[in-house]
Structure 1
Amino acid sequence: MNQTGITIRLSVMMFLQFFIWGGWFVTLGTFLGNNINATDGQIAQAFSTQSWGAIIAPFIIGLIADRYFNAERILGVLHLIGAFLMYQMAETNDFTTFYPYVLGYMILYMPTLALVNSVAFRTMQDPSKQFSKIRVFGTIGWIVAGLVISYVFSWDSEASISEGLLKNTFYMTAIASGALGLFSFTLPKTPPVVDKSKKASICEILGLDALKLINNRNFAVFFFSSILICIPLAFYYQNANPFLTEIGVANATGKMTLGQISEVVFMLLLPVFLTRYGIKKTLLFGMLAWALRYVLFAYGNADSGVWMLLLGIALHGICYDFFFVSGQIYTDSKAGNKYKSSAQGLITLATYGVGMLIGFWAAGQISEYYTTATGDHTWESIWILPAAFSALVFILFALVFKNETIEYKKA
């Protein structure tokens, strides 16, 4: 297989991988609240399956993918099973039936995020130069999914939601998942890299051996701040689409793709910020953007204040890139060769696992508390709380974290 053919295959893989995620996860809260009358607490449980998947994923990768089977084959099998579970989700009418399917799906999906990276990195001749050009197709896939839902089929319109058509997002995703499952078997062979005869400890599998890095005071501050800032982050994933839909913003899912578009733009600007302002200020920019975003959501509306909502969505690039991506770079700089992989796994476990698990629970409790007798929400109160929490984490981090100079080489 020539290099051009490999690049095309990897790009298609990334496109479908994130088209699948963006094709149902963004509108999940809206679907659950309107199609099967789930409570805010139940919606929080559904979103929390992402965190449980992130916590369980290292076991699947460390115990199975790295030792016994080709990565591309496991990727194919997981997506084929995922297609079945996604179809079953579309067919359910009550939360009790829905929850086991979404839990099973996320336990299978979260490991595929590592698997697509593994296939890509081990196939490329020069990952430092090639990976970003292929990974961007994942962001494009997420964007396309949102645009299709809003502007091609209008499944998130008020009329379509009332007719129950939002469940079509699951059918669409099931088809895409089945396609990626079959396509995965055509990807370059990616055999196991770990000698299965050598036993790995649970600490090594979960990346817990990298906990030694917390002995460094600055890294400890960053580590615990990462967990804390993921608590308000969960409010966005869980509440943004139901919020926009409930207040009457047209084509809400399509408009939310502004966040991924800005993600691409600020990814390009990130090296400039790291070089000019250093790691501390870059991380602080990301934290401050979270607080500002939620303030904009609190006081914006679907009429004259819609610009505030769109600006809040567009801040996603700063929120994600300036904290999470720069945080991955910082973690890589602090970890020696022995801990590079395990340190990244540890941060993922702490953020998408522990931090967002707490965040989804909190978002569900707070949303339920501010639900009116008519079933609507007092959104201003709901958004002000994560805004205040983000601001508090920002202040604590600014006071305790000492600025460092890290070497960052632009790919």
Structure 2
Amino acid sequence: MSIKFRLIIMNFLQYAIWGAWLISLGAYLGGDLAFSGRQIGSFFATMGIASLFMPAIMGIIADRWIPAQKLLGICHLTAAVLMAAAAPQTAYLPLYSLILCSVMFYMPTISLSNSVAYNALSKAGLDTVKAFPPIRVWGTVGFIVAMIAVDLLGFTKSSMQLYFSAGLSVILGAYAFSLPSCPVAKKVKNQSWVDAFGLRAFALFKQKKMAIFFLFSMLLGVSLQITNAFGNDYLTNHFGNDPTYAGTFGVEHANILISLSQISETLCILLIPFFLKRFGIKNVMLISMCAWVLRFVLLGAGNPGSGVWMLVLSMLVYGVAFDFFNISGSLYVDKETDPSIRSSAQGVFMIMTNGFGAFFGSYAAGEVVHRMGWPVSWYIFGGYAVVVTILFALIFKYKHNPEASI
């Protein structure tokens, strides 16, 4: 079995685990459990809380002590047990606590799986910028397949989505131990305590270019979980309670409508090597930011009836919004850092995007929704994205060399 195919299986399962509940959880929480907007936001903030420190800790462990592929397996198996324990809970505190604990072990696996892939591709003598996107696209396919399966199986508004996710985690947890071994850093005598504890990646903040890049990664990361937290709830419950839209496809099968976002991703991931080569990381990030603006505005203006075309268009631009930021940013960090801190550098990127960004974004979005309601909240999110775009264009300095790999 070729290394590319083995990594495709890894990526498919990695994101199928997330897709099984990430988009549909809001509908379950806001529907059968009748949780408030603030409470729903808090569940999606768990990913931010986990990403504040767990990717960095696991990245350091992978760089220093336990090979990344083994740590990947351990994290998935632990997350599976905790997610299965969360599934039967209906009260806010126990459900929230167990999902938080499960997410603590899932979120590091995103950067760990990237490190495993980059290491395996490098060992095979392949260019990661060219070889990784066609492999990573299968992660999006896995996300889509899981979303649609949850919808068609009738799990969208039930805890079965959590059991489904846990089962997939067990499969990947076992499979991870068969992946190519990732080397750990060799011990060096008389090394500093920073090196001894694997904290060298945080020295990247001393570089002005990287510090600014990480800062804007955090600001753009605020947008990442907003539609995941409220998109399904918005379509299923907000429009579902309006007789005008009762029975429409967008209300009855919101997961399938939203899956257009991930279908768009599959194409956009494949475009990343071309866009990075042609336009450079700054312009690619700016394209992503503009797409976020369009995404939010179209959600606010559309509806499942005569305005469904705007909802569809909003889903399609998501591929550009997400991939041109998240995947391109990960590749940029990999190219700008030494292989000896590959896993921990990816962990730092995760801290800024899915950590601080998602944490503040989820709670802030929950407060905005609670106070402003729909669809005004979408326009507020769009205005925020406009401000971030303008600031990034003015502050981040990057001279693109089309002859370089990024």
Q: Same fold (TM over 0.5)?
A: yes
1:5-404 alignment runs, 5 A limit: 6-124=3-121, 125-128=124-127, 130-150=131-151, 152-156=152-156, 161=157, 166-190=158-182, 192-195=184-187, 201=194, 204-205=198-199, 207-214=201-208, 216=209, 220-246=211-237, 247-248=239-240, 249=250, 250-331=252-333, 344-370=346-372, 378-402=373-397, 404=399
Aligned-pair Cα RMSD in Å? 2.9
Q: 1:14 to 1:392 in 2, by over 3 A?
A: same
For structure 1, which segment, 303-312 or 226-235, has the greater mean C-alpha deviation from structure 2 after superposition? 226-235
By how many angstroms is 1:276 displaced?
4.5
Alpha-carbon distance between aligned partners in 1 of 2:333 and 2:296, rounded to the nearest angstrom:
27
Q: 1:33 to 1:195 in 2, by over 3 A?
A: farther
By how many angstroms is 1:38 displaced?
2.1
By how many angstroms is 1:306 displaced?
0.8
Q: 1:194 to 1:91 in 2, by over 3 A?
A: farther
Q: Give the gaps of 5 or more residues in structure 2.
A: 241-249
Q: 1:113 to 1:270 in 2, by over 3 A?
A: closer
| Partner-residue secondary structure (3-state), 1:66 | helix
Q: 1:332 to 1:121 in 2, by over 3 A?
A: closer
Q: 1:206 to 1:91 in 2, by over 3 A?
A: farther
By how many angstroms is 1:380 displaced?
1.2
Retained in 2: the 8 A contact 1:231–1:360? yes
| Partner-residue secondary structure (3-state), 1:16 | helix
Partner of 2:245: none
Partner of 1:375: none
Q: 1:212 to 1:343 in 2, by over 3 A?
A: farther
By how many angstroms is 1:275 displaced?
4.6
Q: 1:283 to 1:63 in 2, by over 3 A?
A: closer
Alpha-carbon distance between aligned partners in 1 of 2:333 and 2:170, rounded to the nearest angstrom:
35
1:154 partner amino acid: G
1:309 partner amino acid: L
Retained in 2: the 8 A contact 1:23–1:170? yes
Alpha-carbon distance between aligned partners in 1 of 2:142 and 2:354, rounded to the nearest angstrom:
21
By how many angstroms is 1:204 displaced?
4.7
Retained in 2: the 8 A contact 1:67–1:196? no
Q: 1:296 to 1:177 in 2, by over 3 A?
A: same
Retained in 1: the 8 A contact 2:202–2:348? yes
By how many angstroms is 1:21 displaced?
0.8
Retained in 1: the 8 A contact 2:115–2:346? no
Q: 1:168 to 1:311 in 2, by over 3 A?
A: same
Q: So what's the TM-score if we normalise by structure 1?
A: 0.84
Alpha-carbon distance between aligned partners in 1 of 2:392 and 2:6, rounded to the nearest angstrom:
42
By how many angstroms is 1:317 displaced?
1.4
2:384 partner amino acid: F
| Partner-residue secondary structure (3-state), 2:52 | helix
2:139 partner amino acid: G
By how many angstroms is 1:7 displaced?
4.1
1:126 partner amino acid: G
Q: 1:37 to 1:82 in 2, by over 3 A?
A: same
For structure 1, which segment, 73-82 or 282-291, has the greater mean C-alpha deviation from structure 2 after superposition? 73-82
